[in-house]
């Protein structure tokens, strides 16, 4: 969440760029960032005179440039917000007017280009926007950043999470702060006047989702939090997840860490590794960070160890959960 804190600090201190490009998956923070710019740049009472909000799916580049070139009224700045920008794969002739504007934007206008998806940084439109102002990749928050955000929002409402409640809440959270904010609002309504939010409160409102438990297990393994991983596996088994599906999930994670690490050692960048492994760059970034928690031989041994677990369970020599517990003991002791 460092990218958002830096942006908010710049706005608070009056360092306003003439152009912002907001992209990436954490769309909730896109909206928060735009709200911050509105509060900072639009004087109360004359907001309507200095604000243009356009949908890039409906408004063309010429209309955007026309709005950006208008002078502010009784204000230092004019704010132009273009949501759902679709032009990063367009030909230069289709967006020529916008590219010309970005080469020399007006300092009296703050132009915000917003898109929920990824963008190709090699495209001229991206490079012009980044050069003229700031291009910010709104990546999904980590588990720790999500916990801090939830704690702050709860504190504003006069509530405090117990440690158990926060663990349950994070286990059940959907991807992205928009879903987290919705679940938090439901939880705050449920607890009413109570100041403490307990684990039982969270379970009553937002029981853990199977998919999120899977993500929790995968991340815990990569971060060497094996007790957390085993707890998540226990929940998956209780929810009816097939044991061999869990084994496949663990094998995929260790294989991803090993392959990503090997490709990075060969000199490939994140985008190239993502293309080779047919996944997304943010997944590779996380995998490379987690791979540093292991030696290469440990990752290779993990794949061999999972094959042994598979054989032991299928032949009846071991039960599934104890076999996995023994498997993780290898890492705890190494």
Q: Where are the domains of the chain?
A: 2-137, 143-207, 211-332
pLDDT at residue 255, rounded to an integer:
93
pLDDT at residue 333, rounded to an integer:
58
pLDDT at residue 236, rounded to an integer:
82
The series of mean pLDDT values per 10 residues for the chain, 334 residues long, is 93 97 93 96 90 94 97 95 91 92 97 90 94 95 92 96 90 78 92 93 71 77 89 81 86 93 93 88 90 92 91 90 87 63
pLDDT at residue 91, rounded to an integer:
85
Q: Exposure string (b/e) for 149-158, b if CB count within 10 Å is 16 or more?
A: bbeebbeeee
Q: Classify domain 211-332 by CATH number.
A: 1.20.272.10
Does the domain formed by 2-137 have CATH 3.40.50.300?
yes
pLDDT at residue 65, rounded to an integer:
97
pLDDT at residue 174, rounded to an integer:
66
pLDDT at residue 212, rounded to an integer:
60
pLDDT at residue 334, rounded to an integer:
59
pTM here is 0.61
- Show the 3-state SS of the chain: CHHHHHHHHHHHCCCCCCEEEEECCCHHHHHHHHHHHHHHHCCCCCHHHHEEEEECCCCCHHHHHHHHCCCCCCCCCEEEEEECCCHHHCCCCCCHHHHHHHHCCCCCEEEEEECCCCCCCCCHHHHHHHHHCEEEECCCCCHHHHHHHHHHHHHHCCCEECHHHHHHHHHHCCCCHHHHHHHHHHHHHHHCCCCEECHHHHHHHCCCCHHHHHHHHHHHHHCCCHHHHHHHHHHHHHCCCCHHHHHHHHHHHHHHHHHHHHHHHCCCCHHHHHHHHCCCHHHHHHHHHHHCCCCHHHHHHHHHHHHHHHHHHHCCCCCHHHHHHHHHHHHHCC
- The C-alpha angle 324, 325, 329, rounded to 5 degrees, equals 115
pLDDT at residue 210, rounded to an integer:
58
Identify the CATH assignment for 143-207 out of 1.10.8.60, 1.10.287.70, 1.10.260.40, 3.30.360.10.
1.10.8.60
């Amino acid at each position: 969440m460092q990218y958002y804190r830096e942006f908010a600090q710049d706005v608070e201190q009056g360092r306003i760029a003439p152009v912002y490009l907001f992209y990436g998956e954490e769309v909730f923070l896109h909206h928060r960032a735009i709200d911050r710019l509105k509060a900072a740049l639009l004087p109360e009472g004359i907001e309507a005179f200095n604000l243009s909000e356009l949908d890039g799916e409906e408004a063309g580049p010429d209309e955007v440039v026309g709005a950006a070139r208008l002078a502010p009224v009784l204000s230092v700045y004019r704010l132009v917000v273009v949501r759902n920008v679709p032009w990063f794969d367009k030909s230069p002739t289709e967006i020529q007017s916008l590219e010309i504007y970005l080469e020399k934007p007006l300092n009296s206008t703050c132009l915000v280009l917003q898109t929920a998806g990824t963008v190709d940084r090699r495209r001229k439109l991206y490079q012009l926007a980044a050069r003229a102002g700031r291009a910010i990749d709104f990546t999904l928050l980590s588990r720790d950043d999500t916990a801090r955000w939830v704690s702050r929002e709860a504190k504003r409402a006069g509530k405090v999470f117990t440690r158990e409640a926060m663990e349950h809440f994070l286990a059940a959270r959907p991807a992205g702060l928009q879903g987290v904010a919705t679940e938090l609002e439901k939880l705050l309504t449920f607890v009413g006047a109570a100041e403490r939010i307990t684990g039982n409160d969270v379970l009553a409102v937002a029981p853990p989702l199977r998919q999120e438990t899977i993500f929790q297990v995968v991340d815990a393994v990569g971060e060497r939090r094996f007790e957390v991983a085993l707890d998540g596996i226990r929940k998956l088994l209780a929810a009816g997840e097939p044991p061999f599906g869990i084994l496949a999930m663990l094998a995929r994670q260790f294989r991803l860490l090993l392959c990503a690490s090997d490709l990075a050692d060969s000199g490939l960048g994140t985008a190239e590794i993502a293309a080779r492994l047919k996944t997304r760059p943010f997944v590779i970034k996380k995998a490379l960070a987690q791979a540093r928690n292991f030696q290469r031989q440990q990752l290779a041994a993990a794949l061999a160890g999972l094959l042994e677990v598979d054989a032991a369970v299928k032949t009846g020599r071991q039960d599934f959960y104890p076999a996995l517990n023994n498997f993780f003991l290898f890492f705890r002791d190494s």
